[in-house]
Amino acid sequence: MQGKTIIITGASAGIGEELAVTLASRGANLVLAARGEEALAQVKRRCEQSGGRAIAVGTDVTDLEACRRLVERAVEAFGGVDILINNAGISMWVRFEEVTDLSLFDRVMRVNYLGSVYCTHYALPHIKARKGLLVAISSLTGKTGVPTRSGYAASKHAMQGFFDSLRIELLGTGVDVLVVSPGFVATDIRARALGPDGQPLLESKRDEDRDTMDVDTCVAWITRAMENREREVVMTARAKVSMFLKLVAPGLVDRIVLRTLREKGS
């Protein structure tokens, strides 16, 4: 990662923040993107204290022009782009029949899926020039449907399909595509998840003390996969088994998912 220029969306907190600081400690040039500019400035300071160079670019990934400006700022500051990490994301936590504001589906899709499409579109020519890497921080819900997260699962399925398709298009160009599928990670994304009225819940609806991966472990998985230029990371053994079972016994997987979520208080 020494000297590589890396754009990270959703860099103001959670996985994005810790990933930025870790990459900075390895000598990367960080281009930090998020809507919260004050929080972003704090992450920039952490990156610089860790030994990396960093710029903060206030960015709403649902805004096409903002995504274009983000990439332009990266090129102006560091001369090009080696890696784009599409990490910006928002979740939801409500049964579909209880939704009162359907616009939440539009919001989740625009942030999680279209934000990745927009940023990738503008960054790709620069990444191709350096035979770089595209990274999509997806979710295990991008592999199988999950109750109460219908819109989130749909956005992550879209993300998975987009980057799988793009990987094939880019064969022979020197550009690799990595899709990362974490499970529950100790961040505040579930506290910020949208409820039935489209407003943030402000607290997680699950027991965060059970079966939750710490952020440092998650980031270690991601950085290792980036260094090895892997195509995919599925972070839990249970998820890997479920992916196989879904092919041979999909109804069984549905029942397992429902039972597991109930046991975890999800």
Is 220 part of a structural domain of the chain?
A: yes
Is 161 part of a structural domain of the chain?
A: yes
Examine the residue annotation and report whether 152 is marked as an active-site residue of this protein: yes
pLDDT tens for 214-263 read 888 889 999 999 999 999 998 765 655 555 555 555 666 566 666 655 55
Q: How far apart are CA 234 and CA 238, in angstroms?
A: 10
Contacts of residue 65, defined as CB under 8 A and 6 or more positions apart, other chains included, come to none
Catalytic residue among 113, 118, 122, 152: 152
Which residues in the chain show pLDDT less than 70? 184, 186-190, 202-211, 236-266
Is 253 part of a structural domain of the chain?
A: no
The kind and range of the H/E element at 26 are none
Q: How far apart are CA 152 and CA 189, in angstroms?
A: 12
Total Cβ atoms within 10 A of residue 257:
19
Task: Identify the pLDDT of residue 2.
Answer: 87
Look up residue 82 and give its two tokens.
Answer: 């080696």
Task: Identify the pLDDT of residue 208.
Answer: 52
- Helix, coil or strand: residue 82: coil
Task: Identify the pLDDT of residue 201.
Answer: 82
Is 162 part of a structural domain of the chain?
A: yes
Is 70 part of a structural domain of the chain?
A: yes
Contact by Cβ (8 Å): 187, 212: no
CATH number at 108 reads 3.40.50.720
Q: Which residues of 124-137 are buried (b: 16+ CB within 10 A; e: fewer)?
A: bebbeebebbbbbb
Task: Identify the pLDDT of residue 236.
Answer: 65
Task: Identify the pLDDT of residue 192.
Answer: 76
Is 265 part of a structural domain of the chain?
A: no
pLDDT tens for 58-84 read 999 999 999 999 999 999 999 999 999
Task: Identify the pLDDT of residue 255.
Answer: 67
Domain count of the fold of the chain: 1
- Full residue range of the structural domain in which residue 18 is found: 5-236
The β-bridge partners of 174 are none
- The residue written with tokens 């409500």 in the block is 94
Is 20 part of a structural domain of the chain?
A: yes
Task: Identify the pLDDT of residue 260.
Answer: 59
Is 262 part of a structural domain of the chain?
A: no
Task: Identify the pLDDT of residue 37.
Answer: 87
